Amino acid sequence: MFDRTDYPYSETFVREAIQNSLDARLDQSKPVIMNFTFHSDGIGPRRPFLEQVMDHRKKAGLEIPREWKAGNVRWLVVEDFNSKGLGGSLSSRVSDFWHYWLNFGLSNKDGSGRGGRGIGRVTFLIASRLQSVIGYTRRASDGSSAICGMAVLRALEDGHDLKSTHAYLAESEAGNIYKLHDSTEFQNRTRSAFAFNGYDGEYQSGLSLAILYPHAELKASGILAAAIENFAPAIMNGTLVLNVDDRVLDDSTIDMIALEVAEQLNDEAIKSDAARYLNLVRRAQTKDSPHTINLPNAQSSDFEPLRNSSNVKALQKRIANEQDVILEVVFPLVRKGISKSVSVRAAVGPTTSGKKPIDRLFREGMSLPDVRAKNPGELDLVMLVDEGDLAVYLNFCEGKAHLDLLESKDVKQKLEEHGFDGPRAKRLLKNLPAELRLLLTPDVTAPDSHVFDTYFSKPSDKPGKKKKPSKPDAPPEPPPPPRPPLFRVQTLEDGLRIKANPDYDDWPANVTVTLAYADGTRRPSWSHFDFTVESLTVNHTGCDLTAENNKVKALGCGPDTEIVITGFDTNRELDTNIRPWKNA
- Residue 497: phi and psi, rounded to 5, are -120, 130
Annotate 1-50 with DSSP letters as a single string: --S-SSS-HHHHHHHHHHHHHHHTB--TTS-EEEEEEEEEEESGGGHHHH
The torsion of the CA quartet 191, 193, 196, 200, rounded to 10 degrees, works out to 50
Of 258, 221, 232, nearest to 360 by C-alpha is: 232
pLDDT value for 48: 93
Q: Which of 442, 290, 292, 265 is nearest to 360 (CA)?
A: 265
Residue 143 pLDDT > 70? yes
Whether the predicted pLDDT of 41 surpasses 80: yes
Does residue 115 register a pLDDT over 70? no
Query: Could you tell me if 137 and 207 are in contact, meaning their C-beta atoms sit under 8 angstroms apart?
Result: yes
Maximum alpha-carbon separation in the chain: 115
pLDDT at position 159 is 77
pTM: 0.72
Report whether pLDDT(109) > 70: no
**In angstroms, rounded to a whole number, what is the distance separating the alpha carbons of residues 499 and 543?**
11
Q: Sign of the CA dihedral 90, 91, 96, 100?
A: positive
CA 254/CA 267 separation, integer angstroms: 17
Lowest pLDDT segment from 110-119, 167-176, 320-329, 395-404: 110-119
- Per-residue pLDDT at 154 exceeds 90: no
pLDDT by residue (tens digit) across 177-216? 889 998 999 999 999 999 998 888 888 899 999 999 999 9
Q: What mean pLDDT is predicted for residues 417-421?
A: 90
HSE at residue 157, side-chain half, CA atoms within 13 A, is 2
Q: Of the candidates 33, 51, 31, 35, which has an alpha carbon nearest to the alpha carbon of residue 43?
A: 51
Helix (H) or strand (E) holding 279: helix 274-285
Tens of pLDDT, residues 482-525 = 888 889 999 999 999 999 998 888 888 999 999 999 988 888 88
pLDDT digits (tens, 9 = 90+) for 25-38: 999 999 999 999 99
Q: Spell out the alpha helix ranges (H) of 353-480.
A: 389-397, 409-417, 424-439
Dihedral sign (CA 132, 86, 366, 251):
negative
Q: What is the pLDDT of residues 390-412, one digit of tens each?
A: 999 998 888 767 788 988 888 89
- Residue type (1 letter), 291: H
pLDDT (tens digit, 9 = 90+) per residue, 289-322? 789 999 999 998 999 999 889 999 999 999 999 9
Residue 113: pLDDT band with limits 50, 70, 90: very low
Query: pLDDT tens across 541-562, in order?
Result: 999 999 999 999 999 999 999 9
Please tell me whether the peptide bond between 508 and the residue prior to it is cis, using omega within 30 degrees of 0: yes
